[in-house]
Amino acid sequence: MPLTDYVPDFRSPIPRGRIASTLMLLAFYLLAAGIGLRLQVYYGAVTPLWPPSGLAVWMLWRRGLGLAPVILGGEWLVALWLGQGWQAQILGPLAQLVEAMLASMLLRLARLPARPLDTLHGLQLFLLDAVLLAPMLAAAIGTWGLYLTGATGDGPLYETLLTWWTGDALGILIITPLLLAWWPQPARSTVAQAAALMIATGIAALVVLMQAPEQRTMLFFLLLPFVAIAGLLRDPAVVTLTILMLVALALGLQAIAIGHPDEFVKHVRLLFIGTVAATGYIVSVLAQRLHRLANTDPLTGLPNRRRFTEQLEALAARPRGRRHALLYLDLEAFKLANDTCGHAAGDRLLIEVTGRMLRRKPAAATLARMGGDEFVLLAPDHDADEASALAHRLREALASKPFTVGERSFGIGMRIGIAPFGPRSESPEGVLARADLACAAARLHGGVRVSGPGDGALLRHQGEIALLERLRAAFGNGRLRLAWQRLDPLPGREDGRARREMLLRLLGDDGHPLGPDTFLPVAERYGLLPQIDRWVLASTCRWLSTQADPRLQCYVNLSAQTLAESGFADWLKALIAGHGLDLGRLCLEITERHALERFEFALPAVRALAADGWCFALDDFGAGVASFGYLADLPVQVVKIDGRLVRDFESDPISPVIIEALCRLARLRGLRVVAEWVEDASLLPALAALGVDDVQGFALHRPELLAEAAAGDSPASAPAA
């Protein structure tokens, strides 16, 4: 890219008049030079910090070569002010211009983004080109000019060269990032963070300066954590201000030093500050990268679910203001493009759709990707009508041009559900759920759907949300209770074990227990099963530790989601060890549906625990078409036949045949067979003849809340009516 190309700073204009802008920047340049010259007394003919270098690089890099006269004129006025000879008046401005031109040309060729120091690649190029190479060339030219005029004094020439380079490098390292990030004015949040950090750094600097001379340099290292903190704030401008405080402290130490210490020590101190500054920028870039990884979608760069939820919660918590709207967007063409043309085409489609929506959305609105082909748009200060109009504009923008992959073309459609909400009107979770349901309705009817109080589906969902909130509260208010039901061995099948299945109940407002079919589907839909499973396991182990009967074994249901959780196995081992129980006192029960639907997640976890000696039971065995094949892969010791086969035993002639086949298969693998849903005791002889070992159902024992069972009660070893 030619250096003369004008690259505008998108944040703020310099005054439009060329003369006015030139005079203003020349005034800034002379002011920066005056600050640098105040430090010259401590370093002879050159200064250890030259702010005009940073200003010069910023002008040519961000504004173009047309501002070169500002650099030449400013440096010539400085040389004239200092009374330097004509050689220095020529070579000084030339050195500064060459430095700025070289740095800006290299950085322009790299085509860095508007905030180049926000990326590790941009920071690397800035440090190499602008801080190391360009100042070294300028120092060589400038030192030659001072040498020709005799302004270097009697000291070694390398000291002048090193000081010149140090001053220009520090000037660029501090001033250029400050201008890049803070022109024309920083965000208020950045100002507040910088002010707080500067006050803390200033107080620490005063403490260092007040110490004895022999302790000051050592205590100087105490200020390094402030640079790290500045970097963690993810803004290079805050880093530059912190570095300015360190420079001021270093020069203050120099000013109050007794005598004239070794020049090498002075340079080492300033080079150390430069290293610290670069480290601060690197910390800032890495902190930004971690923040982006945690809060953005890697494909589209949009906020992810986590970041969007935070913004929705903040907007919903506002005490006053207009109504807002949440739009749930479901892309229609994604699956077709993904399946027919491959994942790369699907990714391209998502990126293109993101660009079109970003161009059409209001500036204050937030677009986020929830996953797959689903997006959400948070529109502050939009009522239902305004949100509906916005939804139609987005649909038109997507439908205006098809998406093409090679010779194939796909029309881009989108179904949109809208959930208007007011300040503090409902929970963010409820708003998102309403928008999702409205989008589901739009999938059926097409177009745009606005959620309203009369929607039956939405009313049912509100009931689910209320149940979910009650379920969450139950962990702390004692409304979650355990129930138990016996598993009775059939005659001749006794093995010395007394078995119970632990069941979960939720007490309603009237004190009566609600069955698991009422609330467990809601818990599964909203990801609450792992927390429930851990509560049941902990409660079961706590109760088992109070039972003296070593024959007692409790069956506990687990979801595949819980089994696949990181750290669950270690938590389970610690739980049973903490209660002093043997592994045989628990049998972990997984349903066949979960095992088949999430087989790739359930199998490794089950195998790992089974290898340690844990007992597993496969529930609802026979419910799926792949039951026989998967039984060979799952390391279980017990299978529980699907209760529907037992329920239809007499009415469906196929059921006894299936039960017999399942029992034979289990017997070949040495597994114990349990028949569930036994509601008629007359079936027991037939089930025994087919090979069933244990039976469970209302005909034998109705579930009881655990508190209602006597402490010494043991399951019966024979069927009971």
Rounded Cα–Cα distance for residues 277 and 240 (Å): 7
271 and 330 belong to one structural domain: no
Domain-embedded: residue 112: yes
Question: 336: how many CB neighbours lie within 10 A of its CB?
Answer: 15
Q: What is the pLDDT of residues 26-57, one digit of tens each?
A: 888 888 887 777 766 555 556 777 888 888 88
193 versus 155: the higher-pLDDT residue is: 193
Domain-embedded: residue 45: yes
Q: For position 333, which CATH number holds?
A: 3.30.70.270
Task: Give the pLDDT confidence score for residue 594 in this predicted structure.
Answer: 55
Task: Give the pLDDT confidence score for residue 404 in this predicted structure.
Answer: 80
Task: Give the pLDDT confidence score for residue 185 in this predicted structure.
Answer: 55
Question: 16: how many CB neighbours lie within 10 A of its CB?
Answer: 7
383 and 420 belong to one structural domain: yes
638 and 582 belong to one structural domain: yes
Residue 193, judged by CB atoms within 10 A of its CB (0-12, 13-18, 19+), counts as: buried
Residue 132, judged by CB atoms within 10 A of its CB (0-12, 13-18, 19+), counts as: middle
Query: In this prediction, what percent of the chain has a pLDDT beyond 70?
Result: 76
When pLDDT is averaged across residues 106-134 and rounded to a whole number, the result is 77
192 versus 715: the higher-pLDDT residue is: 192
Domain-embedded: residue 716: no
Instruction: Count each helix (H run) and each strand (E run) in the chain, helices first.
Output: 28, 17
2 and 131 belong to one structural domain: yes
272 and 316 belong to one structural domain: no
Asked if residues 391 and 295 have their Cβ atoms less than 8 Å apart, the reply is no
For the cut 50, the answer to whether the pLDDT of residue 1 exceeds it is: no
Kindly report which listed range (79-93, 251-265, 296-310, 442-456) carries the lowest average pLDDT score. Answer: 251-265
Domain-embedded: residue 58: yes
221 and 333 belong to one structural domain: no
Instruction: Supply φ then ψ for residue 520, to 5 degrees.
Output: -65, -35
DSSP H helical segments within 648-683, as ranges? Answer: 654-668
29 and 121 belong to one structural domain: yes
Last residue of a domain, one of 276, 295, 314: 295
Rounded Cα–Cα distance for residues 681 and 542 (Å): 33
Q: Phi/psi class of residue 672: alpha, beta or left (left: φ > 0; alpha: ψ in -120 to 50)? A: beta
Q: What is the pLDDT of residues 403-448, one digit of tens each?
A: 887 777 777 888 898 888 877 666 777 788 788 878 877 765 667 8
145 and 201 belong to one structural domain: no
Q: Please name every residue paired with 619 in a beta bridge, in sequence order, or none if there are none.
A: 591
Q: What is the pLDDT of residues 393-403, one digit of tens each?
A: 998 888 888 88
Domain-embedded: residue 460: no
Task: Give the pLDDT confidence score for residue 475 in this predicted structure.
Answer: 84
List the domain range (segments joined by +) for residue 575. 477-708
Q: What is the pLDDT of residues 9-30, one digit of tens each?
A: 333 344 445 677 778 888 888 8
Number of structural domains (the chain) is: 4
Cα angle 568, 571, 575 (rounded to 5 degrees) comes to 135
Domain-embedded: residue 698: yes
Whether the upstream peptide bond of residue 93 has omega within 30° of 0, thus cis, is: no
Report the candidate in 710, 641, 650 with the shortest Cα–Cα distance to residue 676. Answer: 641
Q: For position 513, which CATH number holds?
A: 3.20.20.450
When pLDDT is averaged across residues 601-623 and rounded to a whole number, the result is 82
When pLDDT is averaged across residues 338-361 and rounded to a whole number, the result is 83
Residues with Cβ within 8 Å of residue 9, at least 6 apart in sequence: 62, 63, 114, 183
Report the candidate in 607, 592, 680, 692 with the shortest Cα–Cα distance to residue 642. Answer: 592
Rounded Cα–Cα distance for residues 705 and 482 (Å): 6
677 and 534 belong to one structural domain: yes
Site of tokens 């005063």: 206
Task: Give the pLDDT confidence score for residue 271 in this predicted structure.
Answer: 64
Task: Give the pLDDT confidence score for residue 27 in this predicted structure.
Answer: 85
0.75 cut: is pTM over it?
no
620 and 483 belong to one structural domain: yes
Q: For position 57, which CATH number holds?
A: 1.10.1760
Q: What is the pLDDT of residues 203-262, one digit of tens each?
A: 777 777 677 766 666 666 676 777 777 767 766 667 777 777 777 666 666 666 545 555
Rounded Cα–Cα distance for residues 513 and 285 (Å): 55
Task: Give the pLDDT confidence score for residue 507 in this predicted structure.
Answer: 86
Rounded Cα–Cα distance for residues 283 and 291 (Å): 12
Domain-embedded: residue 253: yes
646 and 537 belong to one structural domain: yes
When pLDDT is averaged across residues 97-110 and rounded to a whole number, the result is 83
Question: 552-557 and 513-514: which strand pairing?
Answer: unpaired
For 251-388, strand residue ranges (E) read 324-331, 366-371, 374-379
617 and 692 belong to one structural domain: yes
68 versus 600: the higher-pLDDT residue is: 68
